[in-house]
Structure formats: structure tokens, C-alpha cells
Homo-oligomer: A and B are copies of this chain.
Amino acid sequence: MNWIADILWNDQGLIPAIAQDEKTGEILMVAWMDHVALTETVATSKAVYWSRSRKKLWRKGEESGHQQVVKEVRLDCDNDVLLLKIEQQGGIACHTGRRSCFYKVLKNDEWVGVDPVIKDPKEIYKS
């Protein structure tokens, strides 16, 4: 699979992947992929990442149900960043219960949360 060989992984064998809503263009999150995560993502059209904190594959939505259906995979000119155009199941990508992880805006030297919590994380992640 030459397309995998084209990718420039970082020194931990990872590449960042941006998840963008394919319809609205909204940037929902950024996470990391290793070789296995990317291969599975492309094979299944469901986003799979590598969790750096948990040090294991993270099949997005495995706990929350908020899977990401991958419609298109793009690579940048330097071959070191991926862009996924996705359909976000449940409309929530962020573990805080917000639509997007990028909900903080710099205003007057402060990060201000401007986007609403759609669903309480306690309701999303039931143990």
C-alpha cells in the first residue's frame, strides 16, 4: 500500500488528523493516528485514532456512540497532516459535550468559551 508509505510520521510514529464536518466545514477536533489507526479508518470509513494519553487505539465513539463517518481523506503538501471530512454522529465531537473541541476564543487576553454544551458528559459517558 504505497499511499501509507507516502506519509511522513513523526518520531513517535504518529500523524495529526483534523476532523472537519463535511457539510458545514466546521473543524470539530484534532487527534493523532498511527499506522494501524489510519489503515483501519480507511478500511472501515469510521475514524480511529491513537490515544496518546491512554496509549491505545481509540475507536471514536466506542464509549460515547459519537462515531465519525469518514467521507474523504486528504493529505497536505508536506505529507505530515491528515484532513478527514466526516459526518459526526450525534452532532457532538468533543468530550465536553460540545459540538467542536475548538470552543474557546481569545478575547481581551482571555480564553472565553463561546459554544454551548449540547449534552452533559455524565450523560454521554455512562460507566
Binding site for B on A (CB under 8 A): 1-3, 6, 16, 18, 20, 24-27, 29-30, 42, 72-78, 81, 83, 94-96, 98, 101-106, 109-111
B6 touches A111 (CB 8 A): yes
**A26 & B27 in contact (Cβ 8 Å cutoff):** no
CB neighbours of A106 from chain B (8 A): 3, 42, 72-75
28 pairs of residues in contact across A and B, judged by CB atoms under 8 Å: A1-B109, A2-B110, A3-B109, A3-B110, A6-B111, A16-B16, A16-B81, A18-B18, A18-B30, A24-B25, A30-B76, A30-B81, A42-B106, A72-B106, A73-B105, A73-B106, A74-B102, A74-B105, A74-B106, A75-B102, A75-B106, A76-B101, A76-B104, A77-B94, A77-B96, A77-B104, A81-B101, A83-B102
A72's partner among B103, B105, B110 (CB-CB below 8 A) is B105
| Cα distance, A20 to B81, chains bound together (Å) | 14
Cα A119 to Cα B65 in complex, Å, equals: 44
- Cα–Cα distance between A80 and B94 once the two chains are bound (Å): 14
